[in-house]
């Protein structure tokens, strides 16, 4: 099997899986329980929170665990808007955001907020001056993702936030760092983020867990009400097995080492794939090497995806929907519909090898010769 | 309180000498539908079928739901069985059993059916006594004999006395299996499951044929068809599905036939392959979800070309229906939500930019013959995949 869909999800690392198992079967208690076993569980929760915080250069108290990236992004967007609703009316996002930011913002627009979307430049990244141009004194939130999930484009988030704050001193700055976390050094301070989203299952931990960093002093309002967990910002018993596994996975980060390895693999893949007649590159030149977006001839994404799956090679179609609805990210980059229709996203992890790339390149070359296009 | 289902036979009452056979098949279908819910006694008398659970732990709500989907029943009633066949027992049972429904009603009337003529009271007396008692127990009620909110039925039959409120509408139609067997060509869209349902309603036992073209179509498209057939099977009983590997034929079509005829030749190939599967499996007809004028391959001319490809009878129960009418039935049988899941199916692979809407049979046949599909048809028939579907 050649798994090249690591931006969709990753295999859980053995140590993380063991941690989860232990907290489901042995130390299974509720961290809110008053008895000694509850206290022991709470210690596990604290340890995990510290591990994730350390990986972000944050303080443990600044982390709120959620059910995943989507919930964390929703909490950031709605929570910031709710906190500022009396005095502000505008939110600014990039046009290439993940749907969990995009749809949340659209919902706010339906409720009367003014939503401004910044298109990326041709290189697929959002430019600080474009953001600064639309931030006004009545802007509540700027949300720009750190690394794009479809193309790997890296946005200059620190510069964007700096430029935004020149226009509006206390605008809340959020970045969705789900695709960057564990792959690039993500430091909340040097990014200047007020809010930052991470997800467990993209970094070799289980699905169903994520976290929102909320900088000390920044006020957002909860979206989910219940018990007093997570400093009342997110009620509900913490998913301790997943959270603990997340902590373990963060402890296993070897960012520089893996980046070097994946960068070499990426370069190799790019060279091999682009030498195939009909294959073009959609990812920007300076993108994160974990993601490689290409268009393969005129064969539709879904067709070649199934063709590859018959050979046990797993990638993702660049386009979100089977019925020819092209990716909003690629079209925001100005890539035409035909090319977007045949986009493929190849995404690596530390577990991939040259062997995977060879299998992929050979299969695509063969597919382009035999498959029908339209 | 012991409950029972009283089922009214539909059209089969009109059958002459064959009536007994129709009833036996209906009972068999009912038995199959209820099989995994527990043990039931299913008997018939006086054009009524009685379903009596033989244990107390039966999920009777689910049983009612299942019975409502069995073809051949116009209406059915969920009734209480009185302890004894006496007026005292009727009066003891009725207010308890119907309490909830009577509390929610403003007006009511009582109707008595006394088919056991040995019962001492006559129908008007039964009505009067029952009605009087209910009025005294539920003082908010008024009697309205013309347009009551609830009609209370007291049935005095040979085997016992039963109390029930208004009957529930059944699935209608005639029992599946009394009309022979036919093969439905199913793609995964909105129409074909509805067509399958409609023919099952007329007593047809179904076999399904699905064309898959991996990698142009996904595994999810095929799984979607299985889920659709599971929904249909709640009405139609078990269905065997044949999946035809269609990729090579479609690729040849693309390579060797004129583009504007892709769809029409594809439909002909589907008919021809289906006919051969159908004949081997003792199906007497094919069923499609075609509706006149819906798309280019469903014009009168295109249907003529498609029809010519097979010598079998082709049932097209949706032929005169509007899309909205079809969708309404799809909602009713709960296939709509599944049908609109957006997976590419074999009908949308290689759709021509400008399909011929008035194809000329002679040219279509010539193009098809020149391409020479026969060896690939043979190969496809050798590699059918079978899936057994049973809701």
Give domain limits for chain B. Answer: 2-169, 181-389
- Cross-chain residue pair B215–A307, CB shorter than 8 Å: yes
pLDDT category of residue A32 using cuts at 50, 70 and 90: very high
Question: Residue A370 has what pLDDT?
Answer: 86
Q: Does any CB of chain B come closer than 8 Å to the CB of residue A274?
A: no
Which residues of chain A are within 8 Å of residue B340 when distances are taken between CB atoms?
A: none
Q: Which residues of B are less than 8 Å from A304 in CB distance?
A: 215
DSSP-assigned letter for residue A86? T
Residue A299, chain B, CB below 8 Å: the answer is: no
Give the pLDDT confidence score for residue B159 in this predicted structure: 84
Residue of B nearest to A301 (CA): B216
* Contact residues on chain A for B218, CB-CB shorter than 8 A: 302, 306, 322
Q: Chain B residues with CB inside 8 Å of A309's CB?
A: 215
Cβ pair B215:A374 closer than 8 A: no
Confirm or reject contact between A302 and chain B (CB < 8 A): yes
Q: What is the predicted pLDDT for the residue at B66?
A: 95
Please judge whether A306 and B214 are an interchain contact, meaning their C-beta atoms are less than 8 angstroms apart: yes
Q: Which of B341, B293, B286, B344 is nearest to B317 (CA)?
A: B286
Residue B345 has pLDDT above 80, yes or no: no
Classified by CATH at the fold level, domain B2-169 comes out as: VC0802-like (3.30.2130)
Chain A within 8 Å of B138 (Cβ-Cβ)?
no
- Kindly report the number of other CB atoms within 10 A of residue A166's CB atom: 12
Question: What is the C-alpha separation between A307 and A232, in angstroms, rounded?
Answer: 49
Dihedral pair phi/psi, residue B243, rounded to 5°: -100, 125
Which pLDDT score is estimated for B294? 86
pLDDT value at position B158?
A: 87
Mean pLDDT of B363-381: 95
CB atoms B214 and A310 under 8 Å: yes
* Residue A323 with chain B: CB contacts under 8 Å: 342, 344
Q: Would you place residue A106 in the very low, low, confident or very high pLDDT band (cuts 50, 70, 90)? A: very high
- Active-site residue numbers of A? 321
**Tokens standing for residue B51:** 């379903």
Domains of chain A: 2-10+254-370 (3.90.1150.10), 14-251 (3.40.640.10)
Q: What CATH topology corresponds to B181-389? A: Rossmann fold (3.40.50)
pLDDT at A26: 95
* Terminal-to-terminal C-alpha distance of chain A: 29
Q: Which residue of B has its CA nearest to A300?
A: B216
The predicted-structure confidence for B38-62, as pLDDT tens digits, reads as follows: 999 999 887 789 999 998 889 999 9
User: Is there a contact between B215 and A309 if contact means CB atoms under 8 Å apart?
Assistant: yes
ipTM over 0.85: no
Question: In 10 A of CB B129, how many CB atoms?
Answer: 18
Query: What is the pLDDT, as a whole number, of residue A320?
Result: 46
Tokens matching residue A81: 């808007």
Please report which confidence band the pLDDT of residue B346 belongs to, taking 50, 70 and 90 as the band edges: low
- Note whether A322 contacts B: Cβ–Cβ < 8 A: yes
Asked if B215 and A323 come within 8 Å (Cβ–Cβ), the reply is no
Alpha carbon of A306: minimum distance to chain B alpha carbons (Å): 5
Cβ contacts (< 8 Å) between B214 and chain A: which residues? 306, 310
3 state DSSP class of A8? coil
Count how many pairs of residues, chain A against chain B, have C-beta atoms within 8 Å: 31
Higher pLDDT, B56 or A80: A80
Q: A371 at the B interface (CB within 8 A)?
A: yes
E strand map for chain A: 2-3, 63-66, 90-94, 114-118, 139-143, 172-176, 195-199, 210-214, 279-281, 291-296, 313-314, 316-317, 343-347
CA dihedral of residues B351, B352, B353, B358 (deg, nearest 10):
-120
Question: For residue range A294-314, what is the model confidence (pLDDT) as tens digits?
Answer: 998 888 888 899 999 999 999
Nearest to A323 among B251, B342, B350 (CB): B342
Q: Say which range, B2-6, B220-224, B247-251, B345-349, has the weakest mean pLDDT.
A: B345-349
Mutate to test the interface with A, among B188, B212, B215, B341 (most CBs of A within 10 A): B215
Smallest CA–CA separation between A205 and chain B, in Å? 27
| Closest Cα in chain A, distance from residue B354 (Å) | 13
Burial class (CB in 10 A: 0-12, 13-18, 19+), A110: exposed
Report CB contact under 8 Å: A323, B344: yes
Split at pLDDT 50, 70, 90, the class of A321 is very low
Residue B355 is predicted with a pLDDT of 84
Are B251 and A372 in contact (CB < 8 Å)?
Answer: yes
Place B174 in a pLDDT band, splitting at 50, 70 and 90.
very high
The rounded distance, in Å, linking the Cα atoms of A186 and A216 is 18
pLDDT single digits (tens) A202-261: 999 999 999 999 999 999 999 999 999 999 999 999 999 999 999 999 999 999 999 999
* Cα separation, B145 vs B123, whole angstroms: 15
Q: Tell me the chain B residues in contact with residue A308 when contact means C-beta distances shorter than 8 Å.
A: 215
Write down the pLDDT at residue B353: 80
Mean pLDDT of A11-27: 97
Phi-psi region of A156 (alpha: psi -120 to 50; beta: other; left: phi over 0): beta
Q: Could you say which of B219, B250, B343 has the minimum Cβ distance to residue A322?
A: B343
**How does the average pLDDT of chain B come out, rounded?**
93
Q: Do B342 and A321 touch (CB under 8 A)?
A: yes
Does B79 have pLDDT greater than 50? yes
Q: Residue A372 and residue B218: Cβ atoms within 8 Å?
A: no
Q: For residues A159 and A296, what is the distance between their CA atoms, to the nearest angstrom?
A: 34
Using an 8 Å CB-CB cutoff, list chain A residues near B342. Answer: 321-323
Cβ contacts (< 8 Å) between A307 and chain B: which residues?
Answer: 215
Say if A306 is an interface residue toward chain B (CB within 8 Å): yes
- H or E element that contains B41: strand B40-45
Of A163-167, A184-188, B76-80, B212-216, the one with minimum mean pLDDT is: B212-216
Across A109-118, A220-229, A324-333, least confident range = A324-333
In 3D, which of B198, B192, B217, B191 has the Cα closest to residue B327? Answer: B191
Contact of B60 with chain A, judged by CB distance below 8 Å, is answered with no
pLDDT score, position B341: 85
Q: Residue B168's beta-bridge partner residues?
A: B76
pLDDT on residue A374: 52
B307 interfaces chain A, CB cutoff of 8 Å = no
pLDDT above 70 covers a percentage of chain A that reads 97
Q: Rounded mean pLDDT of B267-283?
A: 96
Q: Measure A17 CA to nearest chain B CA, in Å.
A: 29
Q: How far is CA A281 from CA A18, A217, A304, B158, B388, in A?
A: 39, 43, 16, 82, 45
For A371, name the nearest residue in chain B, comparing CA atoms only: B251
pLDDT of A123? 87
- Residues above pLDDT 70, as percent of chain B: 98
Residues of B with CB below 8 A from A372's CB? 216, 250-251, 254, 350
Q: What share of chain A is helix, strand, coil (3-state, %, to 5)?
A: 40, 15, 40
Residue B209, judged by CB atoms within 10 A of its CB (0-12, 13-18, 19+), counts as buried
- Check whether the bond before A191 is cis (ω within 30° of 0): no
- Among B215, B217, B251, select the one facing A310 at the smallest CB separation: B215
In B, minimum Cα distance to A374 occurs at: B350
Tell me whether A314 touches chain B (CB under 8 Å): no
pLDDT band for position A323 (50/70/90)? very low
Please answer whether residues A116 and A92 qualify as being in contact, where contact means their C-beta atoms are separated by less than 8 angstroms: yes
Average pLDDT over residues A73-92: 97
Bridge partners (DSSP) listed for residue A210: A66, A199
pLDDT in tens, B145-160: 999 999 999 999 988 9
Per residue in A350-369, pLDDT tens? 999 999 999 999 999 999 98
Is the Cβ pair B217, A306 closer than 8 Å? Answer: yes
Nearest alpha carbon to residue A299 among A308, A289, A290: A308
Closest among B70, B36, B256 to B178, alpha carbons compared: B70
Helix (H) and strand (E) counts in chain B? 14, 15
């Amino acid at each position: 099997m050649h798994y090249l869909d690591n931006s969709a999800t990753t295999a859980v690392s053995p140590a993380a899986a063991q941690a989860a198992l232990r907290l489901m079967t042995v130390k299974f208690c509720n961290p809110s329980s008053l008895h000694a076993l509850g206290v022991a569980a709470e210690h596990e929760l604290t340890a995990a929170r510290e591990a994730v915080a350390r990986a972000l250069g944050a303080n443990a108290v600044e982390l709120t665990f959620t059910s995943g990236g989507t919930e964390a992004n929703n909490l950031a967007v709605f929570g910031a808007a709710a906190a500022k609703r009396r005095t502000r009316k505008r939110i600014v996002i990039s046009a290439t955001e993940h749907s969990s930011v995009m749809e949340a913002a659209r919902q706010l627009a339906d409720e009367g907020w003014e939503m401004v979307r910044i298109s990326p430049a041709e290189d697929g990244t959002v430019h600080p001056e474009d953001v600064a141009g639309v931030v006004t004194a009545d802007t509540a939130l700027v949300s720009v993702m750190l690394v794009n999930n479809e193309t790997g484009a890296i946005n200059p988030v620190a510069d964007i936030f700096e430029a935004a704050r020149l226009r509006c001193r206390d605008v809340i700055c959020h970045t969705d760092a789900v695709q960057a976390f564990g792959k690039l050094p993500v430091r909340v301070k040097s990014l200047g983020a007020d809010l930052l989203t991470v997800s467990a299952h993209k970094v070799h931990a289980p699905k169903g867990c994520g976290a929102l960093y909320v900088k000390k002093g920044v006020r957002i309002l909860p979206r989910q009400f219940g018990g007093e967990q997570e400093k009342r910002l997110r009620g509900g018993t913490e998913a301790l097995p997943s959270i603990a596994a997340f902590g373990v996975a963060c402890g296993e980060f070897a960012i520089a080492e893996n980046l070097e390895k994946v960068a070499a693999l990426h370069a190799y893949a790019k060279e091999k794939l682009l030498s195939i007649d009909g294959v073009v590159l959609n990812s920007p030149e300076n993108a994160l090497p974990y993601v490689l977006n290409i268009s393969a001839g005129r064969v539709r994404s879904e067709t070649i995806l199934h063709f590859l799956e018959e050979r046990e090679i797993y990638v993702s179609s660049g386009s979100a929907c089977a019925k020819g609805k092209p990716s909003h990210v690629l079209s925001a980059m100005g890539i035409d519909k035909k090319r977007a229709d045949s986009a493929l996203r190849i995404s690596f992890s530390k577990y991939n090898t040259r062997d995977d790339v060879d299998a992929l390149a050979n299969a695509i070359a063969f597919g382009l010769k035999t498959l029908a296009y339209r | 309180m012991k409950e029972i289902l009283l089922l009214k036979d539909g059209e089969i009452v009109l059958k002459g000498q064959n009536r007994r056979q129709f009833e036996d098949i209906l009972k068999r279908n009912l038995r199959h539908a209820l099989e995994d819910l527990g043990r039931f006694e299913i008997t018939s008398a006086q054009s009524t079928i009685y379903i009596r659970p033989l244990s107390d732990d039966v999920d009777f709500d689910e049983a009612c739901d299942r019975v409502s989907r069995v073809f051949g029943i116009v209406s059915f009633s969920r009734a209480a069985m009185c302890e004894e066949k006496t007026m005292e027992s009727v009066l003891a049972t009725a207010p308890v059993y119907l309490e909830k429904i009577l509390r929610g009603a403003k007006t009511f009337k009582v109707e008595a059916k006394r088919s056991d003529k040995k019962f001492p009271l006559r129908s008007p007396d039964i009505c009067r006594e029952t009605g009087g008692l209910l009025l005294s127990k539920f003082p908010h009620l008024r009697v309205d004999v013309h347009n009551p909110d609830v009609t209370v039925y007291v049935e005095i039959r040979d085997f016992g006395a039963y109390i029930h409120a208004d009957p529930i509408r059944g699935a209608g139609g005639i029992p599946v299996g009394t009309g022979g067997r036919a093969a439905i060509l199913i793609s995964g869209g909105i129409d074909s499951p509805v067509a399958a349902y409609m023919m099952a309603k007329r007593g047809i036992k179904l076999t399904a044929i699905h064309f898959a073209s991996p990698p142009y179509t996904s595994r999810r498209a095929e799984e979607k068809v299985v889920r659709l057939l599971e929904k249909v099977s709640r009405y139609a009983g078990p269905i065997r599905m044949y999946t035809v590997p269609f990729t090579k034929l479609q690729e040849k079509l693309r390579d060797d036939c004129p583009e504007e005829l892709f769809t029409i030749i594809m439909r002909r190939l589907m008919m021809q392959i289906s006919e051969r599967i159908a004949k081997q499996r003792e199906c007497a007809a094919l069923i499609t979800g075609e509706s006149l004028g819906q798309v280019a391959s469903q014009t009168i001319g295109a249907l003529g070309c498609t029809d010519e490809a097979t010598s079998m009878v082709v049932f097209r129960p949706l032929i005169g229906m509007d899309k909205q009418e079809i969708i309404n039935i799809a909602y009713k049988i709960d296939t709509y939500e599944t049908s609109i899941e957006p997976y590419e199916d074999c009908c949308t692979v290689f759709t021509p930019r400008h399909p011929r809407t008035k194809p000329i049979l002679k040219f279509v046949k010539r193009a098809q013959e020149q391409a020479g599909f026969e060896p690939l048809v043979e190969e496809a028939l050798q590699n059918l995949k079978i899936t057994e579907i049973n809701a």
